[in-house]
Structure 1
Amino acid sequence: MKTEEESSRKAEKTLKLITKLLAKAANTPFPAEAQAFQEHAERLMVRYGIEQATIDAEAGKSGRPQEPMVEERVEFGGQYKVGQARGFTSVALAFNTVRVLQANTPTKKILYLIGAESDVDQVLRLFDSLRLQLAAAMQAWWPTYPYKDFLSAQEKTLERRQFQLGFLTTVAGRIGAIYSAEVTHGEPGNELVLASRRDRADQHVNHLYPQIRAARRQSMSMGSRNAHSAGSYAGTRASVNAEMSPSARGSLKA
C-alpha cells in the first residue's frame, strides 16, 4: 500500500505529465495525433483528481489535517452570460466533487465554485482554457456559418449562444464519462473517496450558506440544432486542463 508521500509524488508526476501532453497536443500539426494527446490528458486529469481525493481521505482517517475547502467566484457578463453560466456550470459539475451556486446582478451571472482547494483550482484552470478555446472556435465558425445572412440580430445572438452551449456541454460530457469509467473500472475505492470528497463540499456549502434555497432554473431561448451541433463538434476537439495565466480569466467577449 502506498504511503501518503508516495501518493503525493505520484499526483505531482501526473500533473506534470498532463502539462506535457497538452503541450504536445498544441504543437503537433496532425489533428489525429493532437486528439490522442488531448484524450490522454483528459483521463489523467480525472485520475489526478481521484488521487488527490484519496490522499485527502487517508489524511482524514489518520487524524491529520485535510485539504482546505474553498470558495471561488467566477463572473460572466455580456449578451451571452446566461448561456455561458449554464454551460460552465455543467463543466464544473462534471468534476463530481465541486459544488456550484449561482447569483445574479443586473449585468452579470456569478458562479460560486465550492470544494477542495485542488479541485476548485483545477476547474478554474480549465475555465481559463475553455474561455479562450471557445472564443477561438466561435471566430472560426461564425464567418462560415451559411445561415447567418438570413437571421435577425436576435436570432444571430441565439445561434452564437447555442454554439457555446454545444461546445461546453460536450466538454462536460467528456469529463463526466471519464469519471464514470474510473468509478466503474478503476480502483475499488474510487467511488468511496469521491463520495467523501463530495460530502465535504456539501458540508462546506451548508456551513457558508445555511439558509440557502434552491432556485428555479432560469428559462432561456434556444438557437438551432445546426448551431448546437457545430459547437458540439468544436467541443470534441477542445483540450482540457491547459495551463493558462490567471490574467486570462474574464468574460468571453460578445
Structure 2
Amino acid sequence: MGKNSRERHKAKRKAAGAAQRRRAAAMPGLGDPLSPFEAARVSSQRQQAEQIVEQAIHARHEGDTAELDRCHELLTTGPGGAAGLQIVDRVLFTVVLREVERAWRRGWQPAEMVRVARREYAAPQGRLLVDAIAAQMRSYAAATVDERWQSQLAALDAHVWWEHDDRYVTAWGERQGLDRAGVITLVVEVLHLLATLPPIEPVGPMPGTVRPAAAAPPPHVDQRMLDRVRALLAKAESTDFPEEADAFTAKAQELMARHRIDHVLLVAAAGKRDQPLTRRICIDNPYEAPKTLLLQVVAEANSCRAIWAKRFGFTTIVGFPGDLDTTELLFTSLLTQATRAMTRAKPAPDRYGRNTTRSFRQSFLTAYASRIGERLSTTTETVDREMAASAGTVDLLPVLAAREDAVRDAFEKQFPESGKHATTVNNPEGWASGRAAADQASLHGRQALT
C-alpha cells in the first residue's frame, strides 16, 4: 500500500472515530464510554434540563405564562442542540416516572391517577400516564404487586410498547400525531397534575411489598348466598315490572343485612376483632352530586361512612369488609334501576317551552336517593332488631355499637373536617317522579319471595 493510500485510510479512521464520538455524545449510554470532559458536559446539560422542567411545573402552577413559554421553548429546542434534545427527553421521562412513584406513596392507585388525568385534561394525558405507569411497574416483580393493582393495570392495558426510554418522547409524539412542542406541553401538564395530587388514604399495599399469603375464606362466607344476592339484583335490574324489581331488591337487601349480622355474631362468639377498611368508588358525570348522595345513603344503611371528593370524582367509603361489599353491590344495582326509570320519564317543557331534562333528572336522582335511604334504613334496622332478639348468648347490640364506633373513629381520623354536600332541587316534577321510582325500586313485597 502506497504512502498516499495509508494517509487516506488514516484520515478515514480518524473521521469515523470522530463520528462515533459525536453519536455517543448525542446518545449517552448507547455508544462508547464518555470521556471525563464529555461526561461533565452531559451531566451539566442534564442538570440544566431538570432545572428547566422544575421551573416549567412551578410556572404552570403559578399561572406565569411568560415563564412557562420560556421553559417550553427551551425544552422544545433542547440545551446544546441535537445532543441536548436526547438529554431533555431522558430527563422528562425520568421525572414523570419519579412523580408517578411519589403519587403512589401518597395513596393514589393507577386507575385513579389515569381517571383524574382524563377528567382534568383529556384522553392523551391519560394515555401518557398509562405508559408512565407501565414503565414504572418494571421495577417490581409481579409476585410483589397486589392483585387489585394487577387488575387495574390489565384494565388500563398498561404495557411498554416503545423500544428505549430515551426515544419515548419522540415515539409517543409520532404515535399520537403531535409535533415536539405539543408533546412537551402534554408532558408538563401531566407532571403538574402528578405534583399537585394531595395525599389520600392508602387502600392497599404499594407495589414491591410482599403480599401476605391468601387467607382461607372465613366459615361465615356462604358463596351460594352471595351468588343469590347477585342474581336477585340482576333480576331487579332487568325486569320491566316495578313490583318485581321492588321484590327482588327487597330480598337482596334482607339477605345482605342478615349476612352482615351473621358475620358479627361469628366474630363476637370467637372473640375476634376485625378492623374497618377504606375503599374508593368512582362516580361519573352527569349528575355526580345526586349519584353520590345515593351511594352515601346506601353506605350509611350498611354501617359505613362515605365522603365525596368532587374534584377527583370518587367517593371514599370506610367500613368493615362485608359492609363495603354490600354497599358497592347494592349501589350499583339501585343506580341501574334509577337510570332506567329516569330515562323513561319524559319531563314536560316549562311554561316558556324550554327543555327541562337536566333539572328534571337532577331532582329525580336527588329524590330517589333520599327515599332509598329512608327505606334501606328501615329494613336494616328491622333485621338488626330481629337478629339481636334471636342472638342467644351473644349480646349483639353492644357489638354492633362497638363496630359503629370503630367505623366512625377510622373515618374521622381520615376526614376530620368532613361534612355532607348539598344538592340542588328545582324541579318539583322530577322530585315527585324520583320518589315514586324509589318506592317502586325499594324494599317492599318481601312476602312474594319468602
Same topology, TM > 0.5? yes
Aligned residues: 222
Q: 1:197 aligns to what?
A: 403
- Alignment partners' CA distance in 2, 1:239 and 1:219: 23
Q: What's the offset of the Cα at 1:206? A: 4.3
Cα gap change, 1:48 to 1:77, in 2 (>3 Å): same
1:57-76 aligned within 5 A: 57-59=268-270, 61=271, 64=272, 66-76=273-283
Q: 1:133 aligns to what?
A: 337
Structure number with higher strand proportion: 1
- Alignment partners' CA distance in 2, 1:136 and 1:203: 37
Q: 2:291 aligns to what?
A: 84
Tell me whether 1:8 sits opposite 2:223 in the alignment: no
Q: What's the offset of the Cα at 1:161? A: 0.6
Cα gap change, 1:150 to 1:190, in 2 (>3 Å): farther
* Range with greater deviation from structure 2 (168-177 or 199-208): 199-208
Q: 2:365 aligns to what?
A: 164
- Alignment partners' CA distance in 1, 2:281 and 2:353: 32
Return the match for 1:39 from 250, 255, 258: 250
- Alignment partners' CA distance in 1, 2:441 and 2:299: 15
Return the match for 1:119 from 306, 323, 326: 323
- Alignment partners' CA distance in 1, 2:422 and 2:233: 37
Q: Any gaps of 5 or more consecutive residues in structure 1?
A: 241-254
- Tell me the amino acid that sits aligned with residue 220 of structure 2: S
Please state whether the residue corresponding to 2:388 is helix, strand or coil: coil
- Alignment partners' CA distance in 2, 1:29 and 1:161: 23
Write the deviation string for residues 103-123 of structure 1: whole angstroms up to 9, x where unpaired.
Answer: 331xx4432100111111111
Please state whether the residue corresponding to 2:441 is helix, strand or coil: coil
Write the deviation string for residues 202-236 of structure 1: whole angstroms up to 9, x where unpaired.
Answer: 23224545xx2244x54443122321121122222
- Tell me the amino acid that sits aligned with residue 75 of structure 1: C
Cα gap change, 1:43 to 1:220, in 2 (>3 Å): closer
Write the deviation string for residues 149-172 of structure 1: whole angstroms up to 9, x where unpaired.
Answer: 85646x542221110112222222
Asked if the contact 1:70–1:114 (Cα under 8 Å) also holds between the matched residues in 2, the reply is yes
Q: What's the offset of the Cα at 1:12? A: 4.7
Asked if the contact 1:7–1:51 (Cα under 8 Å) also holds between the matched residues in 2, the reply is no
CA RMSD of aligned residues (A): 3.2
Percentage identity across paired residues of the two chains: 22
- Alignment partners' CA distance in 2, 1:213 and 1:110: 18
Q: What's the offset of the Cα at 1:57? A: 2.9
TM-score (ref. length: structure 1): 0.72
Q: What's the offset of the Cα at 1:31? A: 5.1
- Alignment partners' CA distance in 2, 1:202 and 1:14: 28
Asked if the contact 1:116–1:201 (Cα under 8 Å) also holds between the matched residues in 2, the reply is yes
- Alignment partners' CA distance in 2, 1:124 and 1:32: 23
Q: What's the offset of the Cα at 1:125? A: 1.4
- Tell me the amino acid that sits aligned with residue 47 of structure 1: R
Tell me whether 1:145 sits opposite 2:347 in the alignment: yes
Cα gap change, 1:152 to 1:93, in 2 (>3 Å): farther
Q: What's the offset of the Cα at 1:98? A: 0.5
Tell me whether 1:52 sits opposite 2:255 in the alignment: no
- Alignment partners' CA distance in 1, 2:219 and 2:384: 19
